[in-house]
Amino acid sequence: MEKDSVITKMPESQASLKEHQQALTVLLKEFDRVCKVLDIPYMLFAGTMLGAVRHQGFIPWDDDLDVLMMRKDYERFLEQADSVVDKEKFFLQKEFSDHWPMFFSKLRLNHTTCLEKFHPRDPEIHQGVYMDIFPCDNAAKTEWGRKIQFYASKVVIAKSLRKRGYETNNSVKKLFMNMCTLLPLSWFLKITKSGTDDSAYVHSFLGGAAVYEKNVYPRKYLERKVYIKFENNDYPVPDGYDTLLKIIYGDYMRIPPPEERAVKKHTVLVDLNHSYVLYLEHHKTMNFDIHTKSIR
């Protein structure tokens, strides 16, 4: 990288939210193409599923895109997608890989910038515009067993966030992350994924929602999918999307007033014309008055 090419200040104009969303649709189209080639099922998830059902596209004030895959499909995707993904335009950032210590994966858009409210511990983390790819795991057969999985997932999340770089003013979070450094990741990850295929429930504890009840779903509502419109293309959602959205959001068809649209804004800088590598030095000097609560 040429020294004089380094960007040392904020650009005069960043990508608008609409432009950011349009870049996310490029990622989704590539992800969908790869899944079709490999015959791997997936579904729109969380706010993306809500946007598809309620707005036939992005929630107008939302700035991210989430998909969900059952664990076996997710692992096959990570094993096989490299042979299909257009590597010139996209980068598959796999869970627990070199320069990405997190417990979920992303598809990134090369030659773009999407800086978030943390300072990466690893300067080689790809920081292009991204979509999130979350695994959905088998839940234990008993409520007690599912609670054990939930608490185990908190250790996995804390260890990963600390290794990636996670900044917070919350002293309890800081203490918990520091304590978790002493615990074995593999053991707690195994517990989180310890359910069986014949259990009545599945969970998305590694999908980020902080509340236990919003992450446990009856398996029957995810077993089949239907296609609905999202930004002028048809994408899969669970056929039980109504029940799932009620579990996650309650009265999900209600449009919140502006004062309630406290979106977890993930980014501090989005540039669709320049690579994040040009902003690395500038990112180091950024101060964040408000830290994000998101795991992204």
pLDDT digits (tens, 9 = 90+) for 243-260: 999 999 999 999 988 877
Pair type for strands 130-138 and 66-70: parallel
Residue 291 domain flag: no
Report d(CA 208, CA 291) in Å as an integer.
16
Q: Which two tokens stand for residue 209?
A: 């929602």
Burial of 42 from C-beta contacts in 10 A (0-12 / 13-18 / 19+): buried
Given a contact cutoff of 8 angstroms between Cβ atoms, the answer to whether 192 and 155 are in contact is: no
pTM: 0.92
Beta strands in the chain (DSSP E): 43-44, 66-70, 90-93, 105-109, 113-116, 130-138, 201-203, 216-218, 225-230, 233-238, 267-271
Q: Which two tokens stand for residue 184?
A: 């074995």
289 has pLDDT over 90:
no
Q: Specify the residue for token string 């707005």.
A: 55
Residue 296 domain flag: no
Q: Which two tokens stand for residue 117?
A: 């409210």
Chain center to CA of 81: 18
pLDDT in tens, 254-278: 998 887 776 556 788 999 999 999 9
pLDDT in tens, 25-42: 999 999 999 999 999 999
When divided into structural domains, the chain yields a total of: 1
1 has pLDDT over 50:
no
pLDDT in tens, 132-146: 999 999 999 999 999
116 has pLDDT over 90:
no
Chain center to CA of 36: 21
92 has pLDDT over 70:
yes
Given a contact cutoff of 8 angstroms between Cβ atoms, the answer to whether 270 and 113 are in contact is: yes
Residue 111 domain flag: yes
**What confidence category does residue 4 fall into, taking pLDDT thresholds of 50, 70 and 90?**
very low
Residue 290 domain flag: no
Residue 105 domain flag: yes
| Residues spanned by the domain of 134 | 3-285
Residue 293 domain flag: no
Half-sphere exposure of 205 (CA within 13 A, CB side): 29
